[in-house]
């Protein structure tokens, strides 16, 4: 009987500490909707998904954690500079509490953003990693990790190549 109770206790403990957090699927759907709104350039609707206490890791080298106003500026900046934004997720994964290592309802994704730089017509494609943590049903933390500098350099190089082509065409 003692062995049976010990086994039962082990099963209960194991079932409570493995698998996804109960909020993982709902939070993943929130993050997906947030990205869909970003693709639609619907910033006003995006703000409903962001907790006022957000702390966000920006992709710029050396940037400090960003609060709500900086996140809003970044989102509206992307909307002003790009068109046809699309995120193709490779997969969505559950996140864990950094102190305990246990699932905490957060979500993260790897994927590829594609878009067209409005001013130059330069197409961009950039692999990325995004993490989202939640509080009160809203995004309160996480960040974006991708090669922002490389993307900006590619846009600049594309614009320079276009200018050279135009100049050589005018000389003909």
Q: Is residue 101 part of a domain?
A: yes
Between CA 17 and CA 103 the distance in angstroms is: 8
Q: Is residue 119 part of a domain?
A: no
Q: Name the domain count of the chain.
A: 1
DSSP state of 48: T
The helix (run of H) or strand (run of E) holding residue 59 is none
Q: Is residue 106 part of a domain?
A: yes
Q: Is residue 11 very low, low, confident or very high in pLDDT (cuts 50, 70, 90)? A: very low
Per-residue model confidence (pLDDT) at position 101? 93
Q: Is residue 158 part of a domain?
A: no
**How does pLDDT run across 103-147, given as a tens digit for each residue?**
999 999 999 999 999 999 999 999 999 999 999 999 999 999 999
Name the nearest CA neighbour of 93 among 36, 146, 16, 24. 24
CATH of the domain at 75: 3.10.450.50
Q: Is residue 2 part of a domain?
A: no
Chain centroid to Cα 129, Å, comes to: 6
Per-residue model confidence (pLDDT) at position 128? 98
Taking phi first (over 0 means left), then psi (-120 to 50 degrees means alpha), and beta for anything else, what does residue 125 get?
A: beta
Q: Is residue 169 part of a domain?
A: no
**With contact defined as beta carbons under 8 Å apart, do 132 and 139 qualify?**
yes
Q: Is residue 12 very low, low, confident or very high in pLDDT (cuts 50, 70, 90)? A: very low
Between CA 62 and CA 170 the distance in angstroms is: 42
The pTM (predicted TM-score) of the whole model is 0.83
Q: Is residue 102 part of a domain?
A: yes
pLDDT of residue 167 exceeding 90 = no
Structure tokens given for 94 = 């559950």
Residue 136 is part of which domain span?
21-113+125-146
Q: Is residue 52 part of a domain?
A: yes
């Amino acid at each position: 009987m003692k062995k049976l109770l010990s086994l039962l206790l082990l099963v209960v403990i194991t079932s409570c500490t493995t698998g996804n957090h109960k909020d993982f699927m709902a939070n993943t759907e929130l993050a997906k909707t947030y990205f869909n709104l970003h693709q639609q350039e619907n910033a006003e609707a995006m703000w409903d998904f962001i907790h006022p206490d957000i702390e966000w890791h920006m992709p710029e080298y050396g940037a400090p954690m960003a609060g709500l106003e900086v996140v809003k500026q970044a989102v509206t900046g992307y909307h002003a500079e790009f068109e046809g934004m699309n995120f193709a997720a490779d997969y969505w994964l559950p996140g864990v509490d950094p102190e305990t290592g246990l699932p905490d309802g957060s979500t993260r994704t790897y994927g590829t953003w594609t878009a067209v730089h409005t001013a130059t017509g330069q197409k961009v494609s950039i692999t990325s990693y995004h993490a989202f943590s939640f509080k009160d049903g809203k995004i309160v933390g996480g960040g974006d990790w991708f090669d922002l500098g490389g993307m900006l350099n590619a846009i600049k190089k594309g614009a320079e190549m276009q200018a050279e082509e135009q100049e050589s065409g005018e000389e003909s």
